[in-house]
Structure 1
Amino acid sequence: MKSSGKRPRRTPPHDVITAFQLWLGILALGIATIPVRVLLMVQNLDDSTAVLLEQVEQQDSLSLTEEQARMWATVAIGAVGVIFVLIFGALLVAAFAMRAGRPWARVVLTAVGIVLVVFAIPALFAGGQTGVLPFVDSALGLVQAVLAVGAIIAMHREESNRYFAGEKRRESA
């Protein structure tokens, strides 16, 4: 009988499933954060335009009108939104790969989770802007950080370690 070349599917342990679900929550909150951050950038469009004009004025060979600077600042905001969506798509792929037992995905998600926690720390001290949108942005970031800590812990528990170690052995065989 011929082998189809496919590996038999292993059932992920409970901790890996929990980590996967936490990552889905993190990504859902991240998708909810995108419009909030884009709206914050739109609210600060005048400041962004002024900064861009200042930087262009420092360059002797460049000239830019205020209208052009505003247009480029708007394009940058749109590009940031697209980049956020692409990043969340890549993280979704990594979450599914982690659930399937791929060690590289666990490493990537652990690193991203640590970054989420580090970037959420300033929100604890509320030293930024005031208003509803900054509050919502900070709250979403804090919840993402808490979920990330839970996901990291779940991905590195003993049962999870055995699951990922089993995948490493299968890759080297």
Structure 2
Amino acid sequence: MKHDQKSYTVEEALQKLMHFCAYRDRSQKEVEDKLNGMRMIPEAKEKIIISLMQDGFLNEERFARSFVRGKFRIKKWGRIKITQELKKREISRPVIKLGLSEINETEYRNTLYDLAEKKSEKINESNPFKKKKKLADHLLRKGYETSLVFDCVNEITG
């Protein structure tokens, strides 16, 4: 892969990053990675990041909230998987907590049960214990909490 060897002025880089952040919410790590790819010096990176934050293009809390909403509503991920992904993006614990507050508890449980029922219908397994295990494993991989998964699986498979 050939790297773009173009060098950017702070102003050009700032413009590029404004578009990058305006397209969708970004984490500070994504912006830093982009700036590293542009081979910006540390002083320039700092100046650009501060400017993006002051102008509202970069906001970790807003990023965390929209990330949580998207992964929960679209991909139907559980809190554990969402938290792990936010940690990978170097989002702090307090901001992750704020992001997770976007999930409504009733909606969360309903989503878990809907996922479980749909998956349960698709599992071709005559042994009830193996079926329960396959269903539980699927829900755990989606990032749902163990206690909720087992309650749900027991309720659905009776």
Does TM, normalized by the shorter one, top 0.5? Answer: no
User: Which structure's residues are more often helix, by fraction?
Assistant: 1
> Could you tell me the TM-score, scaled by structure 1's length?
0.28
